[in-house]
A = this chain, B = another copy of it.
Amino acid sequence: MLRSCATRLRALAVPPARRPRAVWRLFSSEKVIPKDYGLPNPSWSKDLRLLFDQFMKKCEDGSWKRLPSYRQNPTQTLKDFQTRFVDPRFMNEEQVSKAQQFSRSLEEGLGFEYVMFYNKVEKKMVCLFQGGLHLQGVPGFVHGGAIATIIDVTTGKCAIAEGIAMTANLNIDYKKPIPLCSVVVVTSQLSKTEGRKLFISCTVQSVDEKTLYTQATALFIKLDPDKRLT
């Protein structure tokens, strides 16, 4: 379907730049297919591509699964979330339609390049992360806030596998600075659950696992469907 659409666009001599970057609109059905950011792009380094290929191989027997990743929430997921959890005072339809997922809001290659893989049996989420030039903290190294963000994203996805949840605590030890544009492996695992509380551990390591850059614990709380966010 995509290929046929692309062929029609070429036939109509529509230049690629005119087409929206993050969304493909199929003329025949008007169905929108959002761009999946958890797939390789030209900014990915050799290290990131190699690791991606290794994990894609692990997915073949079904033990691991790659997570798709979007800039905006799918419309239905968004509506369900709002109806269940958001106080109508905070529902600004226009704002929400224009909002973007923070970790996907920078341009290709300059911000957060990452892909996540989940192992359901082990309750483990692995994020392969390359921090671009616009994530700088001290000169030459990734900002502590950007590291906190990728930790929040990875532990968050690990939590959400158990139900809709929000971050209640992040406790992060920054052990070594991460050089800009290098690739690191963020591994998070559900340690224990207590009622609606989900305790998750997390490490950020070099690809060869010899360097531990960052270590963290996270506490997520599953949202109570009888309570609204205030």
Partner of A99, one of B78, B134, B166: B134
Residue in chain B with minimal CB distance to A106? B105
> Do B146 and A149 have beta carbons less than 8 Å apart?
yes
Whether the Cβ atoms of B105 and A134 lie closer than 8 Å is yes
Tell me how many residues of A have a C-beta within 8 Å of chain B. Answer: 58
Q: Please state the number of chain copies in the assembly.
A: 2
The minimal Cβ–Cβ distance linking A76 to chain B, given in whole angstroms, is 12
Interface string of A106-148 (1 = CB under 8 A from B): 1000110000000000000000000001111111111111101
* Cβ-based interface call for A59 (8 A): no
Contact surface of A with B, Cβ cutoff 8 Å = 73, 78, 81-82, 85-86, 90-92, 95-96, 98-103, 105-106, 110-111, 133-146, 148-153, 156, 166-174, 176-177, 179-181, 229-230
- In the complex, besides A86-B139, A99-B139, 13 extra interface pairs with C-beta distance below 8 angstroms are A73-B139, A92-B140, A103-B143, A103-B145, A141-B229, A143-B152, A144-B148, A144-B167, A145-B148, A145-B151, A146-B149, A148-B148, A171-B172
